[in-house]
């Protein structure tokens, strides 16, 4: 019993020497971080634009106490992306940063308020890092078509440039189609002796002025 008491007392004494930051780091009385990536998604896209390497992201945070946003104009606030300090300053509720080249997966966006009246406050959220995508779109369930002509559209997601500045390069079964009237849409006309099961392998490569490149492809099968 005596040994147990000594162990507990010793543990309490040791804890009293742990730095305040270590004792309370991670306490979250109501810190909320939001972020928005400023890259391209098609009109009507209902989701959140996901950043890709090179994307510019703006973020903001609120400290909630008693159900209301708290005034942090006098607080020293530090913003980090993974382990790198982005910005710091008094009352700095917003930060703007760029996703590093080569990034992927998730990055940790962290806000620290070291001298809050609630102690050392820390909040971290994960920011997913995607890759640009191009989706070949058309009313062909399972990629199957029955007519002698198909019309294919393209939808671009998460590029750092707008589609108006892109160069489109289509390829159908290894050949570049001629007379493409609308660069983001393709009309393919097939010969009348096409046999069931014929496959059209369609690829599209987009090139941006800033060096971005993204490819997408889809297989279409003749099924009369």
Whether residue 55 contacts residue 105, with contact meaning beta carbons closer than 8 Å, is answered with no
Calculate the average pLDDT of the chain. 84
Question: What is the mean predicted confidence (pLDDT) over 118-135?
Answer: 93
Residue-wise pLDDT for 147-203, tens only, equals: 888 999 999 999 888 877 788 999 999 999 876 778 889 999 988 888 999 999 999
Q: Give the separation between CA 78 and CA 28, rounded to whole angstroms.
A: 15
Give all domains of the chain, ordered by start, each with its CATH number: 27-129 (2.60.40.1930), 133-222 (2.60.40.10)
Lowest-pLDDT range of 14-23, 24-33, 61-70, 192-201: 14-23
Instruction: Please state, for a pLDDT cut of 70, what percent of the chain lies above it.
Output: 87
Question: What is the mean predicted confidence (pLDDT) over 137-148?
Answer: 90
Lowest-pLDDT range of 16-25, 90-99, 108-117, 129-138: 16-25
Q: Give the separation between CA 200 and CA 182, rounded to whole angstroms.
A: 20
Q: Give the separation between CA 140 and CA 85, rounded to whole angstroms.
A: 49
Q: Give the separation between CA 68 and CA 213, rounded to whole angstroms.
A: 45
What is the structure's pLDDT at 66?
A: 78
Q: Which of 154, 155, 159 is nearest to 131 (CA)?
A: 159
Instruction: Please state, for a pLDDT cut of 90, what percent of the chain lies above it.
Output: 58
Whether residue 109 contacts residue 81, with contact meaning beta carbons closer than 8 Å, is answered with yes
Question: What is the mean predicted confidence (pLDDT) over 9-13?
Answer: 34
Residue 125: exposure state from Cβ atoms within 10 A (0-12, 13-18, ≥19): middle
């Amino acid at each position: 019993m005596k040994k147990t008491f000594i162990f507990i007392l010793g543990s309490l004494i040791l804890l009293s020497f742990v730095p305040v930051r270590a004792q309370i780091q991670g306490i979250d009385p109501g810190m909320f971080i939001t972020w928005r990536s400023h890259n391209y998604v098609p009109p009507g896209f209902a989701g959140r634009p996901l950043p890709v390497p090179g994307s510019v992201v703006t973020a903001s945070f609120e400290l909630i106490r008693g159900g209301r946003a708290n005034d942090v104009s006098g607080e020293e606030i530090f913003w980090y992306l993974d382990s790198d300090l982005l910005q710091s300053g008094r009352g700095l509720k917003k930060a703007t940063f760029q996703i590093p080249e080569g990034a992927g997966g998730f990055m940790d966006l962290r806000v620290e308020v070291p001298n809050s009246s609630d102690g050392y406050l820390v909040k971290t959220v994960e920011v997913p890092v995607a890759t640009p995508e191009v989706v070949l779109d058309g009313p062909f369930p399972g990629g199957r078509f029955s007519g002698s002509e198909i019309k294919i559209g393209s939808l671009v997601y998460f590029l750092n440039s707008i589609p108006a500045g892109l160069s489109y390069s289509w390829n159908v079964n290894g050949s570049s189609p001629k007379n493409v009237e609308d660069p983001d849409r393709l009309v393919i006309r097939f010969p009348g002796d096409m046999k069931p099961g014929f496959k059209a392998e369609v690829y599209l490569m987009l090139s941006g002025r800033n060096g971005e490149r993204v490819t997408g492809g889809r297989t279409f099968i003749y099924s009369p």
